[in-house]
Amino acid sequence: MAKQGAQTKAGRRKKKPKPIKYKEVSFKLTVGQKKALERYCRDHQLTPVRFMKALVNGHVARYRDKAPPPSYVTENQLKLFDQSAE
């Protein structure tokens, strides 16, 4: 019987990750802005898309949905360092 359990564990497959959804965004640049962007990207070995994604990620990181951290406090936990216990 132990063999069967071992076989089923080895036969498990990884869960397929959820596909990432993308949305398209477009905007206009002046000729001077476009040249400056291309020059910057060439000097720093970036693509314009990577450069813009890095800028956007830096600015919107604090506005992302964050799940609250799990609470590890249980009912049976001692209150050793609680101020009200004194």
Write out pLDDT tens, residues 52-62. 999 998 888 88
Per-residue confidence (pLDDT) for residue 60, from 0 to 100: 86
Q: Is the full-model pTM beyond 0.75? A: no
Res 20 pLDDT > 70 = yes
Task: Report the b/e string of 12-45 with b at 16+ CB within 10 A.
Answer: eeeeeeeeeeeeeeeeeeeeeeeeeeeeebeeee
CB 37 within 8 Å of CB 29: yes
Q: What is the per-residue pLDDT across 59-82, written as a single tens digit (0 to 9) for each?
A: 888 887 877 677 776 676 667 766
* 30: confidence class by pLDDT, cuts 50, 70, 90: very high
